[in-house]
């Protein structure tokens, strides 16, 4: 079968690889119908995350179940969306509902550090513990509408939840890439009255504004001054940081009101930053950072997509054949594509 494989830093290929087989009785084999290139795939593309040459990439996917292990309740022919990482459903973390902290979890297509699980930018994929790690796609949704529930949408939604956004609040979203756009939709879906969308690129801000957000262009204005102006000098109730790295986290501390909450969800290759200790203390800020708990929130995001409150497909800029994945990575890496879907 065809699969997108890592070859070397900055080099991926579409290769012929062996079809996956059932290894455990809780596995299924999925025929992939849609997969996407995620911002975090660029970390392995750039060599920040070690991959072995020949490893299959990719972790956002929908598909149809082709074959099931003997203990699986899902059935052949079921249309499913996968979570980007696996959880076992039975360890202490999973039993606490902290599926993202599963002691034996692995990320699809993310190399040896993340469990050496084959990726899903491929014609077929093996999904371990299938009943835990797959969800049925609601009948009224196309696969493409459900695709991002397994990763970027639910990551953004989880951040809005972790920031404790309440009805009527004002929320700032830093970064209007795909995750930021989904955070804007999620904040409105959870009752935010106003969302202030901060980015440097006009094009991204236009998309944010089309969703009802107030655009704040950080390249032509001082975002702190503008946000203070819009909030009577107080700051916002909650900030979703969707860029990653010290600069935008520190900006979040500037934008949040006293007593407010920050949820940082951007992935960065930086390992540390200078924490604004005194500002955090005097403002009594709640700062939360962590990986998304997809399994906790995916049923809510699928319901919000089904009810039309969230439309994740608006971030898609390119739909390419799986065979054109090299071009897709190149476009995405050069920021000439906002989100690339690959169709096997
Ligand atoms: Zn991802
Ligand atoms: Zn577990």
Cross-strand bridge partners of residue 320: 342
Ligand 2 geometric centre to CA of 285 (Å): 31
Ligand 2 geometric centre to CA of 132 (Å): 10
Whether the Cβ atoms of residue 283 and residue 261 lie closer than 8 Å to each other: no
Q: Does residue 269 carry a pLDDT above 80?
A: no
Sign of CA dihedral 34, 67, 12, 38: positive
Ligand 2 geometric centre to CA of 343 (Å): 31
Same domain (yes/no): 35, 146: yes
Give residue 288's pLDDT band: very low, low, confident or very high (50, 70, 90).
Answer: very high
The half-sphere exposure of 187 on its side-chain side, counting CA atoms within 13 A, is 34
CATH value at residue 62: 3.90.180.10
Ligand 1 geometric centre to CA of 213 (Å): 24
Q: What is the pLDDT of residues 141-181, one digit of tens each?
A: 999 999 999 999 999 999 999 999 999 999 999 999 999 99
Looking at 289, 309, 331, the residue that finishes a domain is 289
Ligand located closest to 83 CA: 1
- Residues 121 and 140: their CA atoms lie apart, in Å, by 25
Is pTM beyond 0.85 here?
Answer: yes
Range of the domain at 248: 154-289
Looking at 289, 308, 326, the residue that finishes a domain is 289
Whether the Cβ atoms of residue 329 and residue 320 lie closer than 8 Å to each other: no
Ligand 1 geometric centre to CA of 84 (Å): 7
- Residues 166 and 109: their CA atoms lie apart, in Å, by 36
Same domain (yes/no): 185, 300: no
Predicted pLDDT of residue 271: 86
Ligand located closest to 60 CA: 1
Looking at 271, 289, 307, the residue that finishes a domain is 289
Q: What is the pLDDT of residues 55-77, one digit of tens each?
A: 999 999 999 999 999 999 999 99
């Amino acid at each position: 079968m065809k699969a997108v494989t890592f070859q070397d830093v900055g080099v991926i290929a579409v290769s012929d690889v062996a079809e996956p087989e059932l290894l455990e009785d809780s596995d299924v084999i999925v025929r992939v119908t849609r997969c996407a290139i995620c911002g975090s795939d660029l970390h392995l593309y750039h060599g920040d995350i070690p991959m072995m040459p020949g490893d299959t990439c990719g972790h956002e996917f929908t598909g149809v179940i082709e074959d099931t292990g003997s203990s699986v309740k899902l059935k052949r022919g079921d249309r499913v969306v996968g979570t980007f990482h696996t959880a076992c459903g039975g360890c202490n973390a999973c039993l606490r509902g902290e599926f993202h902290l599963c002691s034996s979890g692995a990320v699809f297509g993310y190399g040896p550090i993340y469990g050496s699980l084959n990726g899903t930018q491929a014609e077929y994929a093996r999904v371990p513990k299938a009943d835990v790690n797959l969800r049925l796609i609601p009948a009224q949704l196309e696969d493409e509408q459900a695709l991002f529930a397994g990763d970027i949408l639910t990551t953004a939604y989880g951040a809005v939840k972790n920031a404790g956004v309440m009805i009527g609040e004002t929320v700032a979203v830093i970064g209007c890439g795909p995750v930021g756009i989904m955070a804007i939709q999620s904040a409105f879906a959870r009752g935010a009255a106003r969302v202030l969308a901060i980015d440097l690129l006009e094009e991204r801000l236009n998309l944010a504004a089309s969703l009802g957000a107030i655009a704040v262009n950080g390249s032509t204005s001082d975002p702190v001054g503008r946000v203070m102006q819009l909030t009577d000098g107080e700051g916002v109730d909650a900030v979703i940081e969707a860029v990653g790295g010290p600069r935008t986290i520190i900006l979040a501390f500037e934008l949040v009101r006293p007593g407010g909450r920050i949820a940082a969800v951007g992935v960065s290759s930086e390992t540390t930053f200078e924490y604004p200790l005194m500002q955090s203390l005097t403002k009594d800020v709640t700062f939360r950072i962590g990986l998304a708990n997809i399994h906790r929130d995916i049923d809510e995001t699928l319901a919000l997509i089904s009810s039309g409150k969230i439309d994740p497909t608006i971030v898609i800029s390119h739909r390419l054949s799986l065979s054109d994945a090299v071009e897709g990575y190149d476009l995405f890496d050069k920021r000439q594509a906002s989100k690339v879907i690959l169709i096997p």
